[in-house]
Amino acid sequence: MVLAQLGGSISRALQQMSNATIIDETVLNSCLNEIVRALLQADVNIRLVSEMQKNIKKIVNLDDLAAGHNKRKIIQQAVFNELCKMLDAGKPSFTPKKGKTSVVMFVGLQGSGKTTTCTKYAYYHQKKGWKPALVCADTFRAGAFDQLKQNATKAKIPFYGSYMESDPVKIAVEGLERFKKENCDLIIIDTSGRHKQEAALFEEMRQVSEATKPDLIIFVMDSSIGQAAFDQAQAFKQSVAVGAVIITKMDGHAKGGGALSAVAATKSPVIFIGTGEHMDEFEVFDVKPFVSRLLGMGDWSGFMDKIHEVVPMDQQPELLQKLTEGTFTLRIMYEQFQNILKMGPIGQVFSMLPGFSAELMPKGREKESQAKLKRYMTMMDSMTNEELDSSNPKLMNESRVMRIARGSGRSVREVMEMLEEYKRLAKMWSKMKGLKIPKKGEMSALSRNMNAQHMSKILPPQMLKQIGGMGGLQNLMKQMGGSKDMMGMFGGSAAD
Ligand SMILES: Nc1nc2c(ncn2[C@@H]2O[C@H](COP(=O)(O)OP(=O)(O)OP(=O)(O)O)[C@@H](O)[C@H]2O)c(=O)[nH]1
């Protein structure tokens, strides 16, 4: 996504400014102009950008900069705070409660991804133990019901709709009554879209909303909408009580900044973003970790949460213990690959590490990396238990390598390559020996235990170079380590 480049451009502007020997008004202005240009290029609303520029100038004190304080950090923090402010609606949206019936209505223009998002939203909650249900009140687009039905069937979510009935209000009310009787706790109503904002669309939305009295109305917006986003979002908000926003297609080439400006227009928070066409390409949106990732500052809690999310609870202590003991077997590597593949796009996971904006892991390369992991796993499928559980590299003699190559339909060279990768990872983990990996909710422990030495050993050399070598890494770690937790750093005093 183009939004990722925004972080890169801002970081470059900050770097240029920090390189200047004397920071005066001219240097500061030129840095801010660069940042403004980057934000406008990402399609962030013009009014918001100029407001942000004014605010940063008010906050950043030239005397502080001249006194030799960490200039980069002061301005970075001001930019961070302002971006967060822009994306923060000030109050959380209504949050449905499991076990208690909630009605959520989806609105948006045609093609925004509304129908797909309704199912993603239902599926997300279903995985967490909810009983969701989908109602198709889109009678405007032929095929809308079929699409919802298909998606819902795939995800095993109950649905309601009609090929014959043309009154969306009637369908919405019928669906609602039925699923209330069936004790569904999250009833999701998909409404019609139109190609553009039209009086008929808004009238229909109002009627469905009046008849079903939803607890929450979610406005779905395509991230490629650009500068028009602000006005579009405002028009929807004026017609119905929009309470939250979901931005779709954040995986594409869209600039994204425009859609993010919708928060200011609707005064409602973005709660999820869509990152692909598949059901699980859907992420909870949190302002601070998002901005942090955008600016390449990393998101430790997100990273660790991902680990806690994908590694089954009962396997976590055992796996983490094995990893930190330094006994890294091929079986552990296999399990790790499985976890990485479950984590979703590798770039997404990497972007949660400090210093890695999504820009560093281009989309094309992610697919390549995933295919490689799958290839390695096929080869490991042809290994015996003894081979998988051994940490003795000498065990893998020529005849064993040839047998594995034959069994997996791969070349000897490829098996050797996989074993090399294993050795590299085993070496890396042996250096991590003794690292205390925190339990869920103990992120600060990781910051304390993980030092730059540890980090530098697990990073691919090329990436370490991109962060600015050991020095750059130490700076990043210092920023993290000196604070109560990762996010505390941004809330604290700028001059510390
Ligand atoms: N890449 C990508 N594609 C998406 C995402 N969300 C939806 N889409 C695609 O966008 C297209 C339009 O999505 P729909 O769900 O049909 O759109 P809609 O807003 O419901 O359209 P109407 O029902 O006509 O109002 C489909 O091809 C979806 O697969 C996303 O997050 N990423």
Q: How far is the CA of 46 from the centre of ligand 1 (A)?
A: 27
> Per-residue b/e over 415-449, b at no fewer than 16 CB within 10 Å?
bebbbeebeebbeebeebeebebbeeeebbebbee
Mean pLDDT over residues 311-337, rounded? 68
CA of 146 to the centre of ligand 1 (A): 14
Asked whether 243 and 130 are in contact (CB, 8 A), the reply is: no
3 C-alpha to ligand 1 centroid (Å):
20
Tokens read off for 434: 């003794």
Whole-number Å distance, alpha carbon 276 to ligand 1 midpoint, is 9
Residue 481 binned pLDDT confidence (cut-offs 50, 70, 90): very low
Query: What is residue 226's DSSP assignment?
Result: G
User: pLDDT value at position 358?
Assistant: 45
User: Beta strand pairing status for 102-107 and 282-284?
Assistant: unpaired
Q: Mean pLDDT: which of 143-147, 337-341, 400-404 is highest? A: 400-404
The confidence score (pLDDT) of residue 219 equals 95
The alpha carbon of residue 150 and the mean position of all alpha carbons in its chain are separated, in whole angstroms, by: 26
Residue 476, pLDDT > 80, answer no
d(C-alpha 106, C-alpha 172), whole Å: 12
Which residue's CA lies nearest to atom 4 of ligand 1?
A: 277
Q: Distance (Å, rounded) from C-alpha 291 to C-alpha 219?
A: 21
SS3 category, 136: strand
| More confident of the two residues 369 and 451 | 369
- pLDDT score of 286: 82
300: pLDDT strictly greater than 70:
no
Contact 245, 274 (CB under 8 A): no
Closest CA to ligand 1's atom 29: 277
- pLDDT score of 408: 93
**Residue that is written with structure tokens 């609870």 in the block:** 313
Which atom of ligand 1 sits closest to the CA of residue 282?
31
Indicate if the pLDDT at residue 66 is higher than 70.
Answer: no
Q: Is the pLDDT of residue 26 over 50?
A: yes
Secondary structure letter of residue 395 according to DSSP: G
Atom of ligand 1 nearest to the CA of 252: 1
Q: Which atom of ligand 1 is nearest to the CA of 248?
A: 31
Query: Which is more confident, 184 or 333?
Result: 184
Taking the CA of residue 276 as reference, the ligand 1 atom at the shortest distance is: 32
Greater confidence, 350 or 142? 142
Q: How far is CA 234 from CA 228, 267, 272, 273, 286, in A?
A: 10, 9, 19, 19, 22
CA of 113 to the centre of ligand 1 (A): 3
Probe residue for ligand 1, chosen from 277, 281, 363 as the CB with the greatest number of ligand atoms within 8 Å: 277
Residue 148 clears pLDDT 50, i.e. is over it: yes
For range 150-169, the mean pLDDT: 91
Query: Which of 121-135, 360-374, 450-464 is most confident?
Result: 121-135
Cα distance between residue 77 and residue 75, in whole Å: 5
pLDDT tier for residue 28 given thresholds of 50, 70 and 90: confident
Ligand 1 centroid, distance to 277 Cα (angstroms):
7
Ranking 12-21, 155-164, 236-245, 432-441 by mean pLDDT, the lowest is 432-441
Look at residue 319 and tell me whether its pLDDT is greater than 50.
yes
Residue 226 has what pLDDT? Answer: 78
Report whether 372 contacts 342 (CB < 8 A): no
Q: How far is the CA of 114 from the centre of ligand 1 (A)?
A: 6
| pLDDT score at 1 | 42
pLDDT for residue 488 is more than 60: no
Which residue CA neighbors atom 22 of ligand 1 most closely? 110
Residue that the structure tokens 């991230």 belong to: 223
Instruction: Give me ligand 1 centre to Cα 477, in Å.
Output: 40
- Looking at mean pLDDT, say which of 56-60, 104-108, 258-262 comes out highest: 104-108
Where do we find the tokens 């003699």?
Answer: 397
Atom in ligand 1 nearest the alpha carbon of residue 138: 23
pLDDT at 473 over 60: yes
Ligand 1 surroundings by CB, under 6 angstroms = 108, 110-116, 138, 141, 144, 147, 193, 248-249, 251-252, 274-277
On the CB side of 229, CA atoms within 13 Å amount to: 34
pLDDT above 70: residue 401: yes
**Nearest residue CA, atom 11 of ligand 1?**
113
CB 241 within 8 A of CB 202: no
CA–CA distances in Å: residue 448 to residues 321, 324, 373, 454, 484: 18, 16, 31, 12, 10
pLDDT averaged over the chain? 77
314 vs 386, more confident: 386
Tell me the C-alpha distance between 22 and 12, whole Å: 18
Q: How confident is the model at residue 271 (pLDDT cuts 50, 70, 90)?
A: very high
Look up residue 79 and give its two tokens: 């930019």
